[in-house]
């Protein structure tokens, strides 16, 4: 299952698996231009060329693959965890690959919520490379995934890999790994959040003050760049 599939090949870790093993599956991608490329690159995978929302994601996924899959990958650069919260109770995967917003470090739990105007706002920007109001923090996804039987296995840059507890036996070092140690040792992409702020939030001692600082930063960023609108998180 590949949600936010782009062209199915560029920087997609599933491409090698699909092309080498001849696997099938289902993908969702909102950009029609990327959909054309996806169909050329990965013809064995069923593609839905439309916007995934918490209200349609199960209808897009379950009829194609059922409740048990090998890999669930999610990368929509927006309300990722709103989709995960619908998928995880209904789809069990051996591996879960989720994009993370590393700008909000452990132990803080952050997730953008679904809003119908969020994607149009992102599309109005020149780039979303430095947009902090997207995705979910590592601690949020670790907590969410654990509720459905997933262990953190690896993290780096802006992706986290989880495996289901029913395949713990395949790992030499038994998961889960520690999210704090994993974050501390990783190279991360901060999504427009100043590195000095992320460092203070991670290493600083006053958790409550840091939480208030994170809240203020995200609220002010949204209001300043979205014409006063505050998107939910």
Please list the ranges in the chain whose pLDDT falls under 50: none
Distance CA 110, CA 103 (A): 10
pLDDT at residue number 2: 98
Closest CA to 113 of 142, 133, 90: 133
pLDDT at residue number 21: 87
pTM summary value: 0.95
pLDDT at residue number 205: 81
pLDDT in tens, 17-66: 898 888 899 999 999 999 999 999 999 999 999 999 999 999 999 999 99
Contact criterion met (CB below 8 Å) for 106 and 139? yes
pLDDT at residue number 219: 97
Kindly report the backbone phi and psi dihedral angles of residue 136, in degrees, each rounded to the nearest multiple of 5, phi listed first: -140, 155
Contact criterion met (CB below 8 Å) for 26 and 60? yes
Collapse the DSSP code of 188 into the 3-class scheme (helix H, G, I; strand E, B; otherwise coil) and give the result.
strand
DSSP 136: B
pLDDT at residue number 23: 86
Distance CA 110, CA 106 (A): 10
Distance CA 76, CA 134 (A): 9
- Token digits of residue 73: 């990958």
pLDDT at residue number 64: 96
pLDDT at residue number 19: 87
* Residue listed under structure tokens 């979303």: 128
Distance CA 19, CA 73 (A): 16
- Token digits of residue 159: 């992706």
Strands (E), the chain: 2-3, 25-28, 45-48, 68-74, 92-99, 150-156, 159-164
pLDDT at residue number 145: 98
């Amino acid at each position: 299952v590949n949600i936010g599939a782009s062209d199915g090949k560029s920087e997609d870790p599933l491409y090698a698996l699909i092309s080498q093993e001849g696997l099938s599956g289902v993908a969702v991608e909102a950009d029609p231009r990327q959909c054309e490329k996806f169909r050329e690159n990965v013809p064995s995978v069923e593609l839905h060329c439309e916007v995934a929302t918490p209200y349609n994601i199960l209808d897009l996924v379950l009829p194609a693959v059922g409740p048990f899959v090998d890999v669930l990958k999610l990368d929509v650069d927006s309300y990722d965890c709103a989709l995960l919260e619908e998928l995880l109770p209904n789809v069990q995967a051996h591996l879960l690959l989720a994009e993370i917003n590393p700008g909000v470090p452990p132990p803080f739990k952050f997730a953008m919520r679904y809003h119908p105007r969020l994607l149009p706002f992102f599309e109005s920007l020149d780039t979303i490379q430095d947009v902090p109001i997207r995705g979910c923090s590592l601690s949020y996804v670790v907590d969410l995934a654990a509720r459905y039987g997933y262990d953190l296995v690896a993290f780096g840059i802006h992706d986290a890999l989880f495996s289901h507890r029913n395949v713990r036996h395949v790992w030499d070092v038994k998961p889960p790994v520690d999210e704090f140690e994993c974050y501390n040792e990783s190279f991360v992409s901060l999504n427009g959040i100043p590195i000095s702020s992320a460092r203070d939030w991670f290493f600083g001692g006053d958790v409550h003050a840091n939480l208030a600082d994170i809240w203020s930063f995200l609220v002010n960023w949204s209001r300043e760049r979205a014409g006063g609108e505050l998107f939910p998180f």
